[in-house]
Amino acid sequence: MPPARKRPRAYDPARTRAAVLAQFGSVRAAVRTLTPEQLALPTRLGDWTVRELVAHVGTALAAVDRLLGEAEPRRQDGRLLDWPFAIAADADAIAATARRLAGEHPDLDAHLAGVERRFTELLDTQPGSRLLPTSAGALPLADYVVTRTVELVVHTDDLNAAVPGLDVPYDRQALAAATRLLADALAVKAPGGSTEVRIPPYAVVQCVEGPRHTRGTPPNVVETDPLTWVRLATGRLDWRDALDGAKVSASGERADLGALLPLLS
């Protein structure tokens, strides 16, 4: 599919790194407060428990170590915006790894501390241009780190949904990067200029085939907040439920995104 943007969106590696570590740190702080009873609670991710979900959060950073351990591809053959559409192929392996790690690491905080330390060491020693063999093709390390914001924001939300009163905060820059990446992915999936999707304050994209809007108020507009958008894009929230719950506004005959969501499945 052709890209919806003439130029790929740029992400500052230093800010992305800081955002990833800030969000991961917030999760670690929350994990220290969890009781055995809370760790045994179910989540909205099939039959995963909170313990398995926390173990999986660690793999968001540990994946960098794993991919760096493989042979470097000779050339880049993937794009950052390919990633959201490719990760479904990893679903079974991801689930198996989460269960294994949950059993291997009774002290989850110590496990996450080690993962964080190794991740930091790797970013200190590896160039951002270093190619990784991801499920979306060969991507530069700097681009792959951007995808970690999606993983961490989404699973922070999963934790908050599973544990009443947990309320893990969302790092502003991490939420911004996740929102923008998923908004741009929508524009790739449905290229066009007839519908404007607004996710203030972080992203505005045009998508969907049809008459292109050039000035004034667009005839087809969708607007929502960043966290609702992340939930829609990742299948945590159904489009119709979001409309019925006034979590999203949609006006115009081409403003129904229900058939395009979720982006990650």
Q: Does one domain contain both 227 and 144?
A: no
| Number of domains the chain is built from | 2
> Does residue 87 lie within any of the structural domains?
yes
Number of H helices, E strands in the chain: 10, 6
Q: Does one domain contain both 227 and 249?
A: yes
> Does residue 7 lie within any of the structural domains?
no
The last residue of one of the domains, among 144, 175, 206, is 175
**Which pLDDT score is estimated for 20?**
98
**Which pLDDT score is estimated for 3?**
38
Q: What are the structure tokens assigned to 210, written together?
A: 């049809």
Q: What is the pLDDT along the chain (265 residues), one digit of tens a residue?
A: 333 345 789 999 999 999 999 999 999 999 999 999 999 999 999 899 999 999 999 999 999 999 999 999 999 999 999 999 998 777 777 778 878 888 888 999 999 999 999 999 999 999 999 999 999 999 999 999 999 999 999 999 999 999 999 999 999 999 999 999 999 999 999 999 999 999 999 999 999 998 776 666 778 999 999 999 999 999 999 999 999 999 999 999 999 999 999 998 6
Q: Does one domain contain both 180 and 66?
A: no
Q: Does one domain contain both 131 and 229?
A: no
> Does residue 164 lie within any of the structural domains?
yes
**Which pLDDT score is estimated for 214?**
63
Q: Does one domain contain both 192 and 142?
A: no
pTM, full prediction? 0.94
Among residues 123, 24, 9, the alpha carbon closest in space to that of 67 is found at: 123
pLDDT digits (tens, 9 = 90+) for 150-186: 999 999 999 999 999 999 999 999 999 999 999 999 9
Q: Does one domain contain both 207 and 230?
A: yes
Q: Does one domain contain both 131 and 227?
A: no
Q: Does one domain contain both 114 and 19?
A: yes
> Does residue 1 lie within any of the structural domains?
no
| CATH number for the domain harbouring residue 163 | 1.20.120.450
- 215-235 burial code (b ≥16 CB/10 A, e <16): eeebbbbbbbebbbbbbbbbe
> Does residue 75 lie within any of the structural domains?
yes
Residue 38: partners with Cβ closer than 8 Å, 6 or more residues away:
50, 163
> Does residue 85 lie within any of the structural domains?
yes
Q: What are the structure tokens assigned to 158, written together?
A: 């999963």
The last residue of one of the domains, among 175, 194, 228, is 175
Q: Does one domain contain both 148 and 198?
A: no
For residue 161, what are the domain limits? 13-175
Q: Does one domain contain both 249 and 224?
A: yes
Q: Does one domain contain both 60 and 132?
A: yes
Q: Does one domain contain both 170 and 182?
A: no
> Does residue 5 lie within any of the structural domains?
no
Pairing of strands 203-207, 195-199: antiparallel
The last residue of one of the domains, among 143, 175, 207, is 175
Among residues 228, 229, 227, the alpha carbon closest in space to that of 205 is found at: 229
